Chains A and B, each alone.
Chain A
Amino acid sequence: MSLYATQKLLYHLNRDPAVQQRYREDLPALLEGYELDAEEREAVLAGDVGKLYVLGVNGQLLMHFAALVGMPWADYIEAMREGVRRHGPVRAGVYAMTTSTDEKVAGV
């Protein structure tokens, strides 16, 4: 489990245009700078917001990552629910889901 490294990658990505460019042009090379395990690496390569949520990525980092890749708000919320449906409850951190996967709290 290297959640810290996954979050650090997203922190750099969210704030640094140069890292954003590397993300778009050669993501595997970018990931060489971060000690991710296989599951985390796969989730980042796939842009799998739901899986990253379940792995415990802080919601603020994840929300801005979703915005960065152009994901509309409703799709972002649904991607996290789908992540929990497929992979089970959030495994770490303080952004656990307390509502059910079929509940649309804010109508989205």
Chain B
Amino acid sequence: MSLVFAAICSHAPGITGRAHLADPAKKDALHAELYRLGESLREARPDALVVVAAEHFANFFMDNMPAYAMGMADHYEGPIEDPAWLGIARTRIPGNAALSRRLIGEVMQEVDVAFAEEWRFDHGIMVPLHFLTPRFDVAVVPVNINCQGPPLTPLPRAWAFGEALRRAADAVPERIALVGTGGISHWPATPDSGKVNEAWDREFLDRWTRNDRAALLDYSDAQTYRDAGQGGFEIRTLITVAAAARGRGELRHYAPIPIFSVGCTVATMSIQ
């Protein structure tokens, strides 16, 4: 079939784990938009959901760090973190190893992606799934881009990876949904946690919604680290979705929530 849905959203663990510490109105507005994104996802009737995430040392470490990895299992498990800390119960999430294998085979035509037959989801995937598929009843294909342990994959490669994912989605008979999750500017897990560069975020989101390839790729890691923190390295996941969808973005929600450590974002992109 083809790619039938594309979107991006935040995945900060505070969105669920520290929900009680946030301004209730802001928290409720964000949660409502995330649930609404789930409704839009279901309306697209996907057979599988490809989640492009940036994990935080749940499965991959600097002893053998892939720039790109895709899951290839019939089921996964998460969260790897303490469920009470994250506010999400540990559960089994369905996968589809045969579909993964076909998708990976197509992606490999253009990008040397690693594959993993076991994968334990951390907040980077669990927080989005908690809202998008709350019954965990859609087969997930987890995808990781290393945004934690430098050296990191260059942004043009993240774009090429998105193009390869699109080629793969179009090559299989199943209906494929794609969601990228990552922060824009943020300084998570440090005393700076809560700092957000809203102007930088809005500029990035403007480039993303226009799907301006040249502008999206026009960030150096040094600039991103200076202006958007180490969390800003996760723009790779968002860039990959833009490359795959090829359309225009619609920003549904953007609001910094300091206790969640990020400018909380929900956006969709048309498929072209």
* Interface, chain A (partner B; CB < 8 A): 4, 7-8, 11, 14-15, 53, 58-64, 67-68, 73, 77, 80-81, 84, 94-99, 101, 103, 105-108
> What is the minimal beta-carbon distance from B91 to any residue of chain A, in angstroms?
17
| Partner among A7, A64, A95 whose Cβ is within 8 Å of the Cβ of B190 | A95
- Separation of A63 and B123 alpha carbons in the complex (Å): 12
Are A98 and B258 neighbours in the complex by a CB distance under 8 Å? Answer: no
B101 in the interface, Cβ–Cβ < 8 Å? no
When distances are taken between beta carbons in the complex, the residues of chain B under 8 Å from A59 are 188-190, 230
| Partner among B57, B62, B189 whose Cβ is within 8 Å of the Cβ of A95 | B189
Q: Which residue, A68, A81, A106, A107, has most C-beta atoms of chain B within 10 A?
A: A106
By Cβ-Cβ distance, the 7 closest A-B pairs, closest first, are A106-B194, A59-B189, A60-B56, A106-B258, A105-B194, A63-B189, A67-B85
| Partner among A61, A67, A94 whose Cβ is within 8 Å of the Cβ of B82 | A67
* Interface, chain B (partner A; CB < 8 A): 18, 21, 56-59, 61-63, 80-82, 85, 120, 148-150, 187-195, 225, 229-230, 258-259, 261
> What is the minimal beta-carbon distance from B57 to any residue of chain A, in angstroms?
5
> What is the minimal beta-carbon distance from A31 to any residue of chain B, in angstroms?
18
When distances are taken between beta carbons in the complex, the residues of chain A under 8 Å from B192 are 97-99, 105
When distances are taken between beta carbons in the complex, the residues of chain A under 8 Å from B120 are 15
- Separation of A99 and B196 alpha carbons in the complex (Å): 12
- Separation of A102 and B61 alpha carbons in the complex (Å): 33
| Partner among B59, B62, B81, B191 whose Cβ is within 8 Å of the Cβ of A105 | B191
Are A98 and B62 neighbours in the complex by a CB distance under 8 Å? Answer: no
Q: Which residue, A62, A95, A103, has most C-beta atoms of chain B within 10 A?
A: A95
- Separation of A31 and B139 alpha carbons in the complex (Å): 39
When distances are taken between beta carbons in the complex, the residues of chain B under 8 Å from A106 are 193-194, 258-259, 261
> What is the minimal beta-carbon distance from B125 to any residue of chain A, in angstroms?
14
Chain A residue nearest in CB terms to B189: A59
When distances are taken between beta carbons in the complex, the residues of chain B under 8 Å from A53 are 190
| Partner among A60, A77, A98 whose Cβ is within 8 Å of the Cβ of B195 | A98
When distances are taken between beta carbons in the complex, the residues of chain A under 8 Å from B259 are 106-108
Chain A residue nearest in CB terms to B231: A59
Are B80 and A15 neighbours in the complex by a CB distance under 8 Å? Answer: yes
When distances are taken between beta carbons in the complex, the residues of chain B under 8 Å from A8 are 61-63
| Partner among A7, A84, A107 whose Cβ is within 8 Å of the Cβ of B62 | A7
Are B190 and A11 neighbours in the complex by a CB distance under 8 Å? Answer: no
When distances are taken between beta carbons in the complex, the residues of chain A under 8 Å from B193 are 77, 105-106
> What is the minimal beta-carbon distance from A1 to any residue of chain B, in angstroms?
15
- Residue pairs across A and B with Cβ atoms less than 8 A apart, 12 shown, are A7-B62, A58-B149, A59-B190, A59-B230, A67-B82, A77-B193, A84-B191, A97-B191, A97-B192, A101-B191, A107-B194, A108-B259
